């Protein structure tokens, strides 16, 4: 890629996603959804902190703000990292394989690229799950006038988890059965999905109650 995805205007990024190029794809889109979710959490904290009615929650708001900023940064980085990882997979698949030596070299590079293409979306799912956790904490205490944005953050974070795990699972068949990453990724994906729907619903319910 000649330009970092996160440096593109929104319209151009959307157009690239809509093109027939395989990069960027769903992994980058999932990371972007997670980054947007973290940004919304951060925004609602900024609209809440310092208000008299939030005095008793100030310490928690500071924690949520710090965590949201960190997750926003990391998920933004993963937009490009995911695309770069899959681009490496495609490059490795194009390597020559006419001789035994070339086939062996290609196999080594392809295996390494697939491992990275699995790790990147797994990290996205992990961080997006943490963003959802922040939304769970913020929904009951965030500025009532912006609580709908906490709900949007929760929806985006949950979508980010699900989308990223789809990208993990499509790569897992290409990870060797005896590699630790395969079992670890399968286990973590299952853990991150467990209870996800209930967590998302709890934020929606909390938001709906405060909206009235």
Give the 3-state DSSP-derived string for 68-128, with helices as H, strands as E and coil as C. Answer: HHHHHHHHHHHHHHHHHHHHHHHHHHCCCCCCHHHHHHHHHHHHHHHHHHHHHHHHHHHHH
Tokens of 70: 């960190």
pLDDT tens for each residue of the chain, 212 residues long = 567 999 999 999 999 999 999 899 999 999 999 999 999 999 999 999 877 776 788 889 999 999 999 999 999 999 999 999 999 999 999 999 999 999 999 999 999 999 999 999 999 999 999 999 999 999 999 999 999 999 999 999 999 999 999 999 999 999 988 889 999 999 999 999 999 999 999 999 999 999 98
Distance CA 202, CA 195 (A): 11
Q: Which domains does the chain have, with CATH numbers?
A: 22-211 (1.20.120.680)
Q: What pTM value is reported for the model?
A: 0.94
Residue 35 in tokens: 């980054």
Only one residue has tokens 């699900």, namely 162
pLDDT digits (tens, 9 = 90+) for 124-169: 999 999 999 999 999 999 999 999 999 999 999 999 999 999 999 9
């Amino acid at each position: 890629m000649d330009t970092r995805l996160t440096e593109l205007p929104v319209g151009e990024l959307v157009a690239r996603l809509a093109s027939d190029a395989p990069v960027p794809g769903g992994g980058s889109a999932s990371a972007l959804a997670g980054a947007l979710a973290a940004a919304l959490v951060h925004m609602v904290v900024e609209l809440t902190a310092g208000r008299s009615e939030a005095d008793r929650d100030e310490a928690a708001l500071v924690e949520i703000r710090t965590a949201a900023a960190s997750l926003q940064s990391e998920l933004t980085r993963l937009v490009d990292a995911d695309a770069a990882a899959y681009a490496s997979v495609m490059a490795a698949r194009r390597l020559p394989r006419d001789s035994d030596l070339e086939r062996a070299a290609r196999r080594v590079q392809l295996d390494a690229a697939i491992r990275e293409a699995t790790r990147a979306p797994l990290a996205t799912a992990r961080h997006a799950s943490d963003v959802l956790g922040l939304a769970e904490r913020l929904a009951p205490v965030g500025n009532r006038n912006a609580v709908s944005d906490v709900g949007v953050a929760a929806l985006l974070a949950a979508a980010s988890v699900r989308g990223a795990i789809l990208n993990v699972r499509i790569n897992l068949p290409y990870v060797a059965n005896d590699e630790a990453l395969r079992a670890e990724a399968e286990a973590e994906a299952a853990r991150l999905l467990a209870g996800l729907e209930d967590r998302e619903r709890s934020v929606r319910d909390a938001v709906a109650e405060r909206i009235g």
